[in-house]
A = this chain, B = another copy of it.
């Protein structure tokens, strides 16, 4: 069958624009043994791809040259199966090329409920997807969040952070979010339900956190490291817990005031979500419930049709969209 795919046609010189990409037809083979032919339903875009365009690649994948098709995570529907356990109409999440249809090894698919309603598909790329599972694992399993906790989340308006904020609220905790702009602060309190939000550009991190939470904090979910981690170490209450999820802002040094871990009996735990697949069923059940109740929402902007992938990606990089940028590959049904 014919698939339409998105190729890099020119390495961007400066900012990425829609014109850097083109959409082309290509022939897709029938699936081989233990493979399936899938149609893409929803494609999630990742800003991190921009660093790989024409470059050397990053920890997340190889460089992407002219003529290459980037890959992202997507919700797919099985059209034809040569793999045991998969049948036409099955829905799954997988990392696939930016296209309308592709052949995928069946062991790369993570099945989701085939009765998922159309309007809930996006959630599998947000709150029920990788970022949601990361947030859930760190918050519930590693951080052992309790209803009486005051939780602080850094990078709170980001992919993982926005899930942590919502999940902590859904579990009954008080939540303080830290983000990098007034718009994000408004999103945190007005849309995501944070009790308080901090714009980290408003002053020294520890001072802002103490002002926002005079009773201290009990659990700190760290997506960034650096100054925010140092501030949390200052403000955490006795026996407080730190979950280390990310450290992009940590620079070359570690938390300089980690000695306070001794006097306040603090704990700090890192985790890697891929080691916790055993939590998947509990995660989908609990977060799925919150989603149906409206306690949690998927934050995303949808662009319709494979032809709009270039525009959607440029919009993502320009910061012009709120929540995750998702393309409804086949348009609305």
Cβ B266 vs Cβ A262 within 8 A: no
- Give the shortest distance, in Å, between A181 (CB) and chain B (any CB): 26
List chain B residues, Cβ under 8 A from A246: 262
Question: How many protomers of this protein does the assembly include?
Answer: 2
Which chain B residue shows the least CB distance to A261?
A: B270
Which chain B residue shows the least CB distance to A250?
A: B259
Whether, in the assembled complex, A271 has its beta carbon less than 8 Å from a beta carbon of chain B, the answer is yes
Cβ A265 vs Cβ B275 within 8 A: yes
Whether, in the assembled complex, A110 has its beta carbon less than 8 Å from a beta carbon of chain B, the answer is no
CA distance A256 to B247 in the complex (A): 11
Cβ B275 vs Cβ A269 within 8 A: no
CA distance A259 to B253 in the complex (A): 10
CA distance A238 to B259 in the complex (A): 24
Q: Which applies to chain A's interface (DSSP): helix, strand, loop or mixed?
A: loop
Bits for A27-51, please: 1 = Cβ < 8 Å to B, else 0: 0000000000000000000000000
Question: When the two chains form the complex, which single residue of B258, B259, B264, B271 contacts A262, counting CB atoms closer than 8 Å?
Answer: B271
Cβ A270 vs Cβ B275 within 8 A: no
Bits for A248-262, please: 1 = Cβ < 8 Å to B, else 0: 001011111111111
Whether, in the assembled complex, A244 has its beta carbon less than 8 Å from a beta carbon of chain B, the answer is yes
Whether, in the assembled complex, A69 has its beta carbon less than 8 Å from a beta carbon of chain B, the answer is no
- Give the shortest distance, in Å, between A57 (CB) and chain B (any CB): 19
A interface residue numbers (CB < 8 A to B): 225, 238, 244-247, 250, 252-272, 275
A and B contact pairs by CB, cutoff 8 A, 23 listed:
A247-B258, A247-B259, A250-B258, A250-B259, A253-B254, A253-B256, A254-B255, A254-B256, A254-B258, A255-B255, A255-B258, A260-B270, A261-B269, A262-B270, A262-B272, A263-B272, A265-B269, A265-B270, A265-B271, A265-B272, A266-B269, A267-B268, A267-B270
Q: A264-B270, A265-B271, A266-B269 are in contact. List 12 more A-B contacts (CB 8 A).
A: A244-B261, A247-B259, A253-B254, A254-B256, A261-B269, A261-B270, A262-B272, A265-B272, A265-B275, A266-B270, A267-B269, A268-B269
